[in-house]
Amino acid sequence: MSDPIQLRSDETFTLNVGPQHPATHGVLRVKMEMDGEYIFSAETVLGYIHRMHEKMGENRTYAQYLPNLGRLDYLSAMAYNHGYVLAVEKAASIEVPERAEYIRVLTVELNRISSHLVWFGAFIMDLGGFTPLMYAFDDREAILDILEAVTGSRLTYCYHRFGGVYNDVDDDFIEGTKAFIPRMRKALKTYEDLVTKNIILMKRLKGIGPVSAEMCRKYGATGPVARASGINFDVRKNEPYSLYNEFDFDVPVYNECDSYARYMVRMEEMEQSLRIIEQALAKMPEGPIMPKKKPKIIKPPAGDYYQAVEAARGSFGIRIVSDGGKNAYRLKLRSPTYSNMHLFDEACRGMLIADALAFMGSIDLVIPEMDR
Amino acid sequence: MSLTLINVLFAVVAAIGFAALNAAYLVWCERKGAGFFQRRPGPMENGPWGLLQPPVDGIKLMTKQLVIPGGVDKALFMVAPVLAMFPAIMSFVTIPFSENIVAQNMNIGVLMIFAFASMGSMAILFAGWGSRNKYALMSSVRGVSQAIAYEVPMLITVITIVMITGSMDLRAIALDQSGGFWQWNILALTKSPLMPVSFLIFFVCTLAETNRAPFDLGEAESELVAGFHTEYSSMGFGLFFMGEYANIVIGSCLTTLLFLGGWGCPFGLFPGVWWFLLKIYLLIFTFIWIRWTFPRTTIYGLLNLSWKILIPFSLFNLLLTAGLLKVF
């Protein structure tokens, strides 16, 4: 643990971390003012992969915009699908059959685990350990196989539809998911033994990267970052959508505010997702996956609609302003990492670069989602 | 001891050959080892079990363009990779592989190896300073502070061994431990009850000295891109890479000679040189094992470990051993 030192603004140099840097996991650029290895300030520079997703939402019909959602956060695309279809369903008052909603929850939670597994591997790789990445990808592969069989894609899913899902799940999916749960529990135990209790990892994460609850509120940080700072906020619990109030699951909250707390929150969330999957599998009814009556062309009445969902990285909100036409008049995406990343500058001042990059890994960045 | 030119040439060629062969095939071992720890096969394409991977890699490195970025300090930039490889090869000259197999035995062998080992950190400094790259510079500064921090406990531990043996001759040190594994320095509890701790200190220092994980802060790729060899391409990089592996072999040889009885065999079976090779490759396997299991430490964690734990412990051990030698 480094003691706070007095940094001098007149003896700094600029270090460009990115747009091509191994720790940024994408084309993120962080302009750091450094005093030796200490960070004086860090400015996040976005815009390298800006694709105008919000503008695209305004000049495409609602259905045409659906595939875009899988290309924001490519690691937890399912939650973004979910948020968008829920928002449009709310706007156009479309009923969703119960089975379809169960399938949505199942796929979203599976996707959450796969997203956390990628984060886990990449985060430990940021800390210099390679092997956990391979283990995590091995387990993630099982999820991808399950999801590929029903959705047709492995990463940028476009599975949820207005009113339901694209196609029904089969027995293979049910059996595969059932077999996956014990496998994942075993894997989580392995991770705990191999990584979580590792003394080097603890030394590198405990007390590093303090993010206070005030800071989270100031920058609008959500998800595991906020929950590791003692803020008990999970959209699934606080503003229940879909079927989430029917499931019994806990929201892991830590008060330590450090990187280790963020790590622990995500590791426990995987276990909680497994619990939701178990319950959803047990409760899932038979029935249709699309409503009988559904408008061919979606034209929500004029109005302002908002829907938030809990994506893997925090609260993803989508606001649709409709003027009654085929396209949205205005579509605003509120993505979690965009807010989470912006506390980096304030939090990393006075930190050593090695710690700052570990801290950045603990925020769990997905650049296409920040820079949409 | 007659030193003819042919003898010297033969010794140097043998040392280069051994170092280069080891460096090349240790990369293969490392990748296979990584594959083993990560549930994957590792290189499999070139030759049976990927055994032709090292020569193919070598050809690739040698045929690539050597890019010299604008604004570098050309002399330092060019000299650094050579300086990384050269001391490692020279150290092989004095390492005895068995009682008779040694290129050139010297009565100050230990001193010579450590003199050359400290040149390795100069290569890092030259490369980082000459590259004109901020990441490389930060890496070289780290490298030097790391080298200083770890050479101190390492040398103190070696002084303990030299005191016990009364010689700086590696051959004499190994011969001193002959006669069964309870005579090895790692288990020589009668000479100093802290010997196993000494071995641990020495092993940790070897990891740090050779820039291996979890102490590979000089080339911490998630922080400093590629550290001091960020700007190097082609064989410039290749020499750094080979130097690293040659240093690992040197480190394992030294650990074996100083603590594990050199070529001394627990129960005969086959000639001493095979025991020596077995011991060093077991140590190298441990190096690989550690690299693919642990995350990296930070620079302050590393310096704290050295100055606050390893140095006091090794100093205490030195005093204890000296006292025990005086008493008994």
Q: In this predicted model, what pLDDT tens digit does every residue of B194-228 receive, in sequence order?
A: 788 888 888 888 888 887 878 887 777 777 777 88
Number of domains in chain A: 1
> B289 contacts in A (CB within 8 Å)?
none
Residues 6+ apart with CB under 8 A from A60: A68, A327
- Chain B CB within 8 Å of residue A155 CB: no
Residues, chain A: 372
Q: What is the CATH number of the domain that holds A232?
A: 1.10.645.10
Burial class for B89, CB neighbours closer than 10 Å (0-12, 13-18, 19+):
buried
Q: Which residue of B has its CA nearest to A137?
A: B38
Sequence letter at residue B202? F
Give the residue among B289, B287, B210, B214 at the shortest CA–CA distance from B250. B210
Amino acid letter, B21: L
Is the link from the previous residue into B271 a cis peptide, with omega within 30 of 0? no
Q: Which residues of B touch A194 (CB under 8 A)?
A: 293
Residue A365 touches partner B, C-beta closer than 8 Å: no
Query: Amino acid letter at A45?
Result: V
Beta A303-311 vs A314-322: how paired, if at all?
antiparallel
Nearest residue in chain B measured CA to CA from A124: B295
**What was the pLDDT predicted at A1?**
45
**Partners of A304 in beta bridges:** A321
A168 found inside a domain: yes
Per the model's pLDDT, the better-predicted residue between B50 and A6 turns out to be: B50
Quick: pLDDT tens for B270-298: 777 788 888 888 888 898 888 888 888 88
Whether residue A154 lies inside any domain: the answer is yes
Residues of chain A whose pLDDT is less than 50? 1
Q: What is the DSSP track for B128-139? A: HHHHT-HHHHHH
Contacts of B299 in chain A (CB under 8 A): 37, 352, 354
**Residue B256 and residue A205: Cα distance in Å, rounded?**
35
Tell me the average pLDDT of chain B.
82
Place of tokens 């590093």: A208
* Two tokens, residue A45: 């520079």
The C-alpha of A110 sits at a distance from chain B's nearest C-alpha, in angstroms, of 23
> Radius of gyration over alpha carbons of chain B, in Å?
20
- Chain B touched by A284 (CB under 8 Å): no
Residue environment code for A230-261, b if the CB has 16+ CB neighbours within 10 A, otherwise e: ebebbbbeeeebbbbeebebebbbbebbbbbb
- Quick check: A32 and A17 in contact, CB under 8 A? yes
Residues 6+ apart with CB under 8 A from B122: B83
Ranges of each domain in chain B: 5-327
Helical axes B234-259 vs B134-165, angle rounded to 10°:
20
| Domain around A56 | 9-370
Backbone angles phi, psi at B96, to 5 degrees: -85, 125
Query: Given the DSSP bridges, would you call strands A314-322 and A330-334 parallel, antiparallel or unpaired?
Result: antiparallel
Phi (first) and psi of residue B126, to 5 degrees: -60, -45
Q: CA A87, CA A101: separation in Å to the nearest integer?
A: 14
Assess contact for A254 and A228: CB atoms under 8 A.
yes
Rounded (10°) angle between helices B195-209 and B134-165: 150
> Could you tell me what percent of chain B has a pLDDT over 90?
0
Q: With contact defined as beta carbons under 8 Å apart, do B250 and B113 qualify? A: yes
The residue type found at A24 is T
Give a yes or no: residue A2 inside a domain.
no
Structural domain contains residue A222: yes
3-class secondary structure, A250? coil
Query: Is position A1 within any domain?
Result: no
Rounded distance between C-alpha atoms, residue A11 and residue A33, angstroms: 10
Cis ω on the peptide bond leading into residue B214 (within 30° of 0)? yes
Q: Is the pLDDT of residue B176 over 70?
A: yes
Judge whether B127 and B228 are in contact, CB under 8 Å.
Answer: yes
Which of B221, B295, B298 is nearest residue A355 as measured by Cβ atoms?
Answer: B298
Q: Does A138 touch chain B (CB under 8 A)?
A: yes
CA-closest candidate to residue A104, choices A243, A6, A218, A308: A243
Lowest-confidence region among B76-90, B125-139, B170-184, B243-257: B170-184
A265 Cβ under 8 Å from any chain B Cβ = no
The answer, for A194 touching chain B at a CB cutoff of 8 Å, is yes
Reading the block at residue A160, the tokens are: 């949820």
The position carrying tokens 């399938």 is: A103
pLDDT the model gives residue B92: 80
Query: d(Cα A173, Cα A207) in Å, to the nearest integer?
Result: 42
Chain B positions touching A128 (Cβ under 8 A) are: 213-214, 216, 220-222, 294-296
ipTM field: 0.80
Interchain proximity B216–A128, CB inside 8 Å? yes
Q: Which two tokens stand for residue A12?
A: 């700094």
Return the pLDDT at A182. 92
- DSSP H or E segment with residue B90: helix B74-92
Contact A129 B299 (CB under 8 A): no
Q: Which residues of A284-298 are buried (b: 16+ CB within 10 A; e: fewer)?
A: beeeebbeeebeeeb
- pLDDT score at A116: 92
Residues from chain B contacting residue A138 (CB–CB below 8 Å)? 39
Residue to test with chain B: of A5, A15, A17, A37, most B Cβ within 10 A: A37
Across the interface, of A23, A134, A135, the residue whose CB is closest to B223 is A23
Q: How far is CA A88 from CA A83, A113, A195, A331, in A?
A: 9, 26, 42, 11
C-beta of residue A122 within 8 angstroms of C-beta of residue A357: no
Residue B212, helix vs strand vs coil = coil
Q: By a Cβ cutoff of 8 Å, what residues of chain B touch chain A?
A: 34, 37-40, 134-135, 138, 142, 213-214, 216-217, 220-223, 225, 292-301
